[in-house]
């Protein structure tokens, strides 16, 4: 059985025709994952007992003639910032090295109810802060496409396992690009939906007004299937939306005639590179499929990085205050007083990037600077959101690159955090506006490195986004 070549539809067909059982598939997926993982370090840990238990339940349902759900038997990997009951959840941090959550995130509950088999937890930047997966306390992830390169971040592990074939689909989280950028670097599909579309209950908080969960997959249809399962209102998360979950597959007609696609000039200026060429070539495909290509402007784009790194650090400084050595975390043994216990636990436990953000965030929220930085950044966020709203009066979708460059070499940007932040230029705008924005593979550079095209649509227009992505994918893989 070739786990690496399977799709959700292929698994459903295999189970129905009794080519394999869910337990056989889970066993093979776990074996393949432990064999391949040393190459990439993409999984932090596997959870064989839990996987086999779910798989056997699926087999029992099938044997009893019941429908185990749209993800029956599908091996799924989960980013280690999403909590799993009884299975360690480290957030890529030394502080939570031994943390075993007492509950499951809603997205995990839903995917298991649909028959999905959680096989393991994936590596990521510490508390999802980073763009290369090099901020993990448990070592970086290597890109399966080119092992000397980063897989992107922060959901680098979740992108790598899908690209490597050790999971069929996976869950990641996106705050400023952490699903799309690794998806583009590893050559897979990555989908951050509308903020609030998927419950964030059980997603460990980094920047709460931006954090959201979404799928990775090897094709557009699989991402749509997984998203449909995990989406929808959840009483455990007040920010989850009550809007009904649409039928994404029904939108994937292959017909793009008359669809208006906006190309924001701010995203293409200065992109004279192979990345730019690949995205332009993809736009030509969309044009041939009958799309009308319209030049647009998102004028406040240049302020996005500054606004994002103020808002996310402010929220992070508050969210990370809970790791104080009293709850959840390992505690420093080197402390005579309570103050020292806090200080040493946090000092020893957090990596450099988290400390940098806690300090910056504390500063921008401090009395006297709150108005000048935090409030101003929120105003800029409104302007960015309005840019998109105005664009969507003229076009149905916006198409842009995901990253200015393909996967870079391990260590290449580590010494310069500012360079790392600047690499998020094309992705953080979608998060600040809270709109759906997926990455679809659109070819490779001459060195064989994957490039991603970003498709952004109005709030809750996931159907429109999948429609464009699916038609494009079909046109180029046929």
- List residues with catalytic annotation: 79, 154, 178
Question: Is there binding between residue 193 and ligand GLN (CB under 6 A)?
Answer: no
3-state SS assignment for residue 455: strand
Q: Measured between alpha carbons, how far is 113 from 466 in angstroms, rounded to an integer?
A: 24
Check binding of 130 to ligand GLN (CB under 6 A): yes
Q: Contact region for ligand GLN (CB under 6 A) — 64-72, 173-181, 250-258, 292-300?
A: 173-181
The least distance separating ligand GLN from the CB of residue 251, rounded to whole angstroms, comes to 26
User: Which of 174, 222, 234, 461 is close enough to bind ligand GLN by CB under 6 A?
Assistant: 174
| Residue listed under structure tokens 């494009």 | 472
**Spatial separation of the C-alpha atoms in residues 172 and 168, rounded to whole Å:** 13
C-alpha R_g of the chain: 21
Residue list 289-318, contact with ligand GLN (CB under 6 A)? 312
DSSP state of 349: H
Helix, coil or strand: residue 438: strand
Q: Which residue has the tokens 């419950």?
A: 199
Per rule CB under 6 A, is residue 190 in the interface with ligand GLN?
no
Which of 40, 90, 131, 317 lies at the binding interface for ligand GLN (CB under 6 A)? 131
- With the CA atoms of 426, 427, 428 and 429 taken in that order, what torsion angle do they form, in degrees rounded to the nearest 10? 70
Among 12, 41, 84, 154, binds ligand GLN (CB under 6 A): 154
**Residue 16 CB partners (closer than 8 Å, separation 6+):** none
Part in contact with ligand GLN (CB under 6 A); list of ranges 71-79, 124-132, 139-147, 337-345: 124-132
The reply on whether position 401 binds ligand GLN by CB under 6 A is: no
| Binding of residue 177 to ligand GLN (CB under 6 A) | yes
- When asked if residue 176 is in the footprint of ligand GLN (CB under 6 A), the reply is yes
Find the shortest distance in angstroms from Cβ 68 to ligand GLN.
Answer: 32
Using the contact rule CB under 6 A, the part of the chain among 123-131, 231-239, 271-279, 328-336 near ligand GLN is 123-131
**How far is the C-alpha of 394 from the C-alpha of 372, rounded, in Å?**
34
Q: How many residues bind ligand GLN (CB under 6 A)?
A: 13
SS3 292: strand
**Residue 133 engages ligand GLN in binding (rule: CB under 6 A):** no
Which candidate, 232, 170, 171, 177, places its Cα nearest to that of 207? 177
User: Smallest gap, in angstroms, from Cβ of residue 206 to ligand GLN?
Assistant: 6
Three-state secondary-structure class, residue 103: coil
Q: Which positions lie near ligand GLN, rule CB under 6 A?
A: 128-131, 154, 174-178, 206, 312, 424
């Amino acid at each position: 059985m070739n786990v690496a070549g399977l799709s959700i539809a292929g698994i459903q067909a295999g189970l129905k025709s009794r080519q394999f059982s869910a337990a056989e598939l889970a066993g093979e997926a776990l074996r393949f994952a432990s064999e391949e993982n040393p190459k990439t370090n993409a999984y932090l840990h596997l959870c064989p007992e839990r996987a086999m238990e779910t798989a056997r339940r699926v087999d029992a349902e099938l044997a009893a003639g019941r429908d185990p759900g749209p993800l029956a038997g599908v091996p799924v990997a989960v980013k280690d910032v999403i909590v799993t009951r009884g299975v360690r959840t480290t957030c890529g941090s030394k502080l939570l090295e031994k943390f075993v959550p007492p509950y499951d995130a809603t997205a995990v509950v839903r995917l298991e109810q649909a028959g999905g088999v959680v096989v393991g937890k994936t590596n990521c930047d510490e508390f999802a802060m980073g763009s290369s997966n090099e901020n993990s306390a448990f070592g970086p992830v290597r890109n399966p496409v080119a092992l000397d390169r980063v897989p992107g971040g922060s959901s680098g592990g979740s992108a790598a396992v899908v690209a490597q074939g050790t999971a069929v689909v996976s869950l990641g989280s996106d705050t400023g690009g952490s699903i799309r950028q690794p998806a583009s670097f590893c050559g897979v599909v990555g989908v951050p939906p509308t903020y609030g579309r998927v419950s964030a209950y059980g997603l460990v908080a980094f920047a709460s007004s931006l954090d959201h969960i979404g799928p990775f997959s090897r094709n557009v249809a699989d991402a749509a299937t997984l998203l449909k399962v995990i989406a929808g209102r959840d009483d455990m998360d007040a920010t989850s939306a009550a809007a009904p979950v649409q039928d994404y597959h029904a939108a994937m007609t292959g017909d793009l005639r008359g669809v208006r696609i906006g190309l924001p000039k701010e995203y293409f200026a200065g992109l004279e590179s192979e990345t730019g060429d690949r995205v332009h070539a993809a736009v030509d495909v969309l044009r041939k499929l009958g799309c009308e290509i319209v030049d647009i402007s998102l004028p406040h784009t240049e302020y996005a990085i500054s606004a994002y790194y103020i808002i996310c650090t402010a929220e992070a400084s508050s969210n990370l205050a809970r790791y104080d050595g009293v709850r959840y975390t390992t505690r420093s043994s080197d402390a005579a007083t309570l103050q020292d216990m806090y200080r040493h636990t946090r000092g020893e436990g957090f990596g450099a990037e988290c400390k940098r953000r806690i300090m910056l965030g504390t500063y921008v929220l401090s009395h006297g600077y709150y108005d000048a930085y935090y409030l101003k950044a929120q105003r800029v966020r409104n302007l960015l959101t309005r840019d998109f709203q105005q664009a969507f009066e003229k076009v149905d979708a916006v198409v842009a690159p995901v990253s200015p460059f393909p996967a870079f070499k391990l260590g290449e940007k580590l010494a310069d955090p500012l360079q790392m932040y600047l690499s998020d230029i094309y992705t953080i705008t979608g998060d600040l506006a809270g709109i759906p924005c997926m990455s679809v593979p659109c070819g490779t550079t001459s060195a064989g490195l994957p490039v991603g095209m970003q498709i952004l649509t109005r709030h809750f227009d996931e159907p429109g986004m999948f429609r464009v992505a699916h038609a494009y994918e079909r046109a180029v893989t046929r």
